[in-house]
Homo-oligomer: A and B are copies of this chain.
Amino acid sequence: MTDNLNGDSILTGNGHRNTRKRRAVIKALSESGKPVTAEEIYLSLINSGDSVCISTVYRTLDFLFSENIIKKMRFNDNESACYEINRNEHSHKLVCRGCRKTISLDVCPLSEFEDKLKKETLFNITGHNLEIFGYCPDCNSESSLI
């Protein structure tokens, strides 16, 4: 699959060009297992010896986003946008408020609920944010000692 991402398939066709920079951006995105900012991608490319400028990173990200190859998201507060390869799985995370350890959930408890909502509200529902938080066993016993 990494092969698939680095390969030509995505970048060619429709007049798009398969350039070294674009390949590098995709590589950076797929190698970091978590959502990353444009800045982080930029720095990672610089560190790997690929010279790029930040606007090229942004332009590439816009391109990949418009091609639906990556997802774009923001984590509630201020922060800059984060990008992540769009593996079309849909998953949520359980996050520990203490140590930030996260557990990926293999089920989405909302799918049927959204279907019901769609019918009730006539909204065209495009997505949701769901984050469940608490304390993992370790942090929980720790906090109860305080």
**A contacts, CB < 8 Å to B:** 72-74, 76-78, 81, 94, 96-97, 103, 105, 109-110, 113-114, 117, 121-137, 140
Contact = CB atoms under 8 A, between A and B. Distances in A.
A129 to B, nearest CB: 5
* Number of chain copies forming the complex: 2
B124 A113 contact: no
Nearest to A95: B123
28 contacts: A72-B77, A73-B76, A74-B74, A74-B76, A76-B127, A94-B121, A94-B123, A94-B125, A96-B123, A103-B121, A109-B109, A109-B113, A110-B132, A122-B136, A122-B137, A123-B135, A123-B140, A124-B134, A124-B135, A124-B140, A126-B134, A127-B133, A127-B134, A128-B131, A128-B132, A128-B133, A129-B131, A129-B133
Contacts of A114: 132
